[in-house]
Amino acid sequence: MLASTTSRIALQARATLAQRFYATGAGANTLLYVEHKDGAIGGATLNALTAANKLGGSVTALVAGDAPESVAKEVGKLTGVSKVLFAKDAAYANALPENVAPLLAAAQSQFGFTHLFAGHTAIGKNIFPRAAALMDVAAVSDIVDIVGEDTFVRPIYAGNAIATVKSNDKIKVVTVRGTAFEAAAASGDAASEEAAPSADKPALTQWISEEIQKSDRPDLGTAKRVISGGRGMKNGENFSLLYDLADKIGAAVGASRAAVDAGFVDNSLQVGQTGKIVAPELYVAVGISGAIQHLAGMKDSKTIVAINKDADAPIFQVADYGLVEDLFKAVPELTEKISK
Amino acid sequence: MSNPLRIFVPVKRVVDYAVKVRVNPAKTDVDRNVKHSMNPFDEIAVEEAVRIKEKAPKTEIVAISCGTTKAQETLRTALAMGADRAVHVEVKDDSTLQPLAVAKLLKAYADKEANKPDLFILGKQAIDDDANQTGQMLAGLLNWPQTTFASKVEINGQDLKVVREIDGGLETVQTKLPAIVTTDLRLNEPRYASLPNIMKAKKKPLVKLTPEDLGIDISPRIETLKVEEPPKRVGGRKVESVDELVDKLRNEAKVL
């Protein structure tokens, strides 16, 4: 009798302590959704981890897939990851949102996560709003800064305005713009692994196939240097001029929507509001006029170079260095002179 | 197709994509006293629905918009493009209407209809809030499959096959109706409404509802504390030659 009273008091004390801990604001308990492909951590997951670490508190990484073992080990070594939740099931292959969103909701309900973070990638965008709806909370997309536990900064209107928003929901479901945060590195210590809770796997969709553009060049989203071509390239063959320059300086190749729509290059290379957002150290825009929607995807680059024969092209207003010249003359000359 | 398809197409009235938006002096929002149009991704959604109807003429297309009275202009545009009827969920101030609330309104309307929709086609994102959430949230609330960022849609009986734009390339998924599709830019090229069709659209039915009629609380979960201009770039410097460009990149910007 006495023993049970004592333990009840101890439990109450612990509950009070936990509550106080949360109320002081140091209690962020974040779930990081880990995107991965072919055994490698992918997307903007490493950047989202840095953002999650800015909240303070603890970060638990969730690795779901048909064979997530090696990725889970790798994730456990990352700075700030205190625990890895592990969900191995064929239903989690290819990140189907109908199966992954209930898993996120089940994990939240079991562990009481206050924040869910993922990269604002095709996969993060697909899964997170669905998960938020299952938890009846709002989602905050594409954040570029963190002001506090509930306050985030995100671009709106294609980056032409920057909003500071406060989420009044108890759970914050957030996707993170990769280029706005450094990538987290490995710290060496392995975090503990634990099985994720079981959840509904309604298997509403079936994955059939994919066509991935193969390239030896760096990934467009994370490359330090990017060379992009627009309508001024005239055709797809001429992009070889950009590939030559890109290979010389280890850059990724991108494109404007005009170049994609004209069929010069694959649409996965599109930079802009509806394509990839990039923020490399060097962005070279070749034959690109600089429409609002394109600028939305690259105007946070450190140094912007524009090569265009139209001196009035809007791209020159954001370019640190503009060269008014025919690209068919300037680009080969640039490639040659850079190699010297 | 044995049964006629019913397609719901949510459309949003937004600041026209070509307008250079400005932050208002109070820094609470952008200046909305500018040209508005249908969200470009929603035009693609309407076009796709109309193309499906052209192959299966018994298809019914219902355009829905949640917003102020002016949302009716956007609905008339959808009707002129080929939608059969329109539903306007009227709110006083659409600047605080958020994706979760819109998804709930759409679900409530779908539940209320005697004849259930087989397919929702939405734009992948609105170009004002750039949220990219409503379709996924609606799919979650309905527990329906979602095929987002579609660049190709094939319907065969109850089977739906969608090619999706993903990072690095394309992906094909297959599912059964009822389902949610969200459109990417390359799905199709929307038609212009002809003058006769604009005239005809004025006579097509438009039903008005309120969030209260649908029993949905639309109060915002996210508060906008402030809206600011993005940091200005100091661009505009020209170089005279490739030599000067290479020199500046090496010695001034130090990026080579």
A70 membership: H or E segment, kind and range: helix A69-76
Residues written for chain B: 256
Tell me which residue has tokens 């990538």: A183
Choose the closest CB to A208 out of B137, B144, B174. Answer: B174
pLDDT category of residue A26 using cuts at 50, 70 and 90: low
B134: closest CA of chain A, how far (Å): 8
**A308 labeled binding residue:** yes
pLDDT for A227 equals: 98
- The residue to which tokens 């790798």 are assigned: A74
pLDDT of residue A214: 83
Q: What are the angstrom distances between the C-alpha of B152 and each of A331, B148, B161?
A: 36, 11, 8
Helix/strand/coil percentages in chain B, nearest 5: 30, 30, 40
pLDDT band at B8 (very low <50, low <70, confident <90, very high): very high
Distances (CA, A) of A234 to A19, A44, A203, A238, A298: 63, 33, 45, 7, 22
Residue of A nearest to B143 (CA): A98
**Angle between helix B134-142 and A122-134 (nearest 10):** 50
The reply to whether A188 sits in an annotated binding site is no
Residue A271, annotated as binding a ligand: yes
Percent of chain B with pLDDT over 90: 91
> Is it the case that residue A8 has pLDDT exceeding 60?
no
pLDDT digits (tens, 9 = 90+) for B132-186: 999 999 999 999 999 999 999 999 999 999 999 998 889 999 999 999 999 999 8
Average pLDDT, integer, range A8-32: 57
Task: With residue B148 as reference, give the H or E element that holds it.
Answer: strand B146-156
CA-to-CA distance for B43 and B122, rounded, in angstroms? Answer: 9
Contact criterion met (CB below 8 Å) for B105 and B66: yes
Return the SS3 of B30.
Answer: strand
Q: Do A330 and B239 touch (CB under 8 A)?
A: no
Q: Give the SS3 label for residue B3.
A: coil
Q: Tell me the sheet residues that pair with A146.
A: A152
Task: Evaluate whether A92 touches B101 at the Cβ level (below 8 Å).
Answer: no
What span, in angstroms and rounded, lies between the C-alpha atoms of A154 and A315? 23
* DSSP 8-state assignment for residue B27: S
Please check if A108 is assigned to a binding site: no
Nearest-CA distance from B36 to chain A in Å?
13
Nearest CA to A288 among A207, A208, A234? A234
Residue of A nearest to B218 (CA): A138
In terms of CA atoms, which chain A residue is nearest residue B189? A261
Compute the distance between CA of residue B96 and CA of residue B220 in angstroms, rounded to an integer.
6
- Chain A contacts of B158, Cβ < 8 Å? none
Within 10 A of B238 (CB to CB), how many other CB atoms are there? 14
Report pLDDT for B180: 98
Least confident of A14-18, A159-163, B73-77, B244-248: A14-18
Q: How far apart are the first and last CA of chain A?
A: 86
**Minimal Cβ distance to B170: which of A142, A210, A319:** A210
Model confidence band, residue A17 (pLDDT cutoffs 50, 70, 90): very low
**Tens digit of each residue's pLDDT (9 = 90 or more) over A149-184:** 999 999 999 999 999 999 999 999 999 999 999 999
Strand blocks (E) in chain A = 29-33, 36-37, 40-41, 58-65, 81-88, 115-119, 139-143, 145-148, 151-156, 161-167, 172-176, 192-195, 205-212, 225-229, 252-255, 282-286, 303-308, 321-324
Question: How many whole angstroms separate alpha carbon A201 and alpha carbon B159?
Answer: 20
CA-nearest residue of chain A to B224?
A165
Residue A101 in tokens: 């969103």
- Tens of pLDDT, residue by residue over A252-291, are 999 999 999 999 999 889 999 888 999 999 999 999 999 9
Task: Say if the Cβ atoms of B23 and A161 lie within 8 Å.
Answer: yes
Chain centroid offset of residue A61 CA: 15
Identity at A236, one-letter amino acid code: G
Which residues share a beta bridge with B228?
A: A162
CB-nearest to A299 from B100, B176, B233 is B233
- Facing residue for A158 by CB, picked from B130, B166, B235: B130
Q: What number of other Cβ atoms are within 10 A of residue A89's Cβ?
A: 16
pLDDT tens-digit series, residues A94-108:
999 999 999 999 999
Res A21: pLDDT: 39
Q: Which residues of B touch A134 (CB under 8 A)?
A: 140
Say what the pTM is: 0.91
For tokens 């991704």, the residue is B41
Share of residues in chain A with pLDDT > 70 (%): 92
Give contacts of A338 with chain B, Cβ < 8 Å: 246, 256
Q: What's the length of chain A? A: 340
ipTM confidence: 0.96
Tally the C-alpha atoms within 13 A of residue B253's C-alpha that lie toward its C-beta: 20
Write out chain A residues lying below 8 Å of B150, CB-based: none
Interior angle at CA B120, CA B188 and CA B5, nearest 5? 90
Tell me what percent of the residues of chain B surpass a pLDDT of 70: 99
Mean pLDDT to the nearest integer, B18-31: 94
Whether the predicted pLDDT of B218 surpasses 70: yes
Question: Between A129, A305, A337, which is nearest B136 by CB?
Answer: A129
Give the span between the Cα atoms of B64 and B83, in whole angstroms: 10
